Structure 1
Amino acid sequence: MLKDLMRLGVGSALLAKEKMEEEIKELIEKGRMSKEEAEKLIEKAKAKGEEQERAIREEIKKALKEVLDEMGLATKEDLEKLREELGKKESEKR
C-alpha cells in the first residue's frame, strides 16, 4: 500500500510538471513570458516541490514510527541498546 501511494505521488508530480512545462512553453511562444521568467518560475516550483518532498518524507517517517510503536516492534535503536547491554554483561562475566 505504501509503495502504491508513493507511485501515485510520483506519477501525479510528473503529470503536474509536464503540464506546467507545456503551459510555460505556450506562454513563451505567445510572448507573455520571457525565457528568463520561465526559468525563474521553474526553479521556484522545483524548490517548492523539494520542500514538499522533505515534508512528506518526514510525515511518512513519523507515521511509520507510530505504527511500529503500536505494533511493539523493536527499532534499530532498541536493538543497538540491547547489544550494548549484552556486551556489558558478557564483559562482567569475564
Structure 2
Amino acid sequence: MDKKLEQLFYFALGSALAVKEKLEKNGEEMKEWQKKAEDNAKEHFDDLAQRGEQEKESFKQMMTDILKDVVADLDLATKADLEKLKKDMGN
C-alpha cells in the first residue's frame, strides 16, 4: 500500500511540474506575441502618421482652392481687389 501511495505522490508531483512547465512556456509565448503585437501597432501608427504628414500640403492646397472658389462664388473682395481699389483711390 505504501508503494502505491508513493507512486501516487510522485505522479501528482510530476503532473504539477508538467503543468508548471506548460504554463511557463505559454507565458513566454504570450509575452512574445504581445511584443510582436505592440511592434506591429507602433509600426502601423508610424506609417499612418507619416502618410498624414505627406498629405498635409495636398490637403492645404485643396482647402485653399475651395476657399478661393467660395470667395469667388460669394463675389467677395480679395486682397488684390482691395489693393487695386486703394491704388485707384490714391491717384
Which category describes the TM-score, using the shorter chain as reference length? 0.3 to 0.5
Q: Which has more radius of gyration?
A: 2
Q: TM-score scaled to structure 2, two decimals?
A: 0.46
With CA pairs under 8 Å and 6+ residues apart, which has the higher RCO, 1 or 2?
Answer: 1
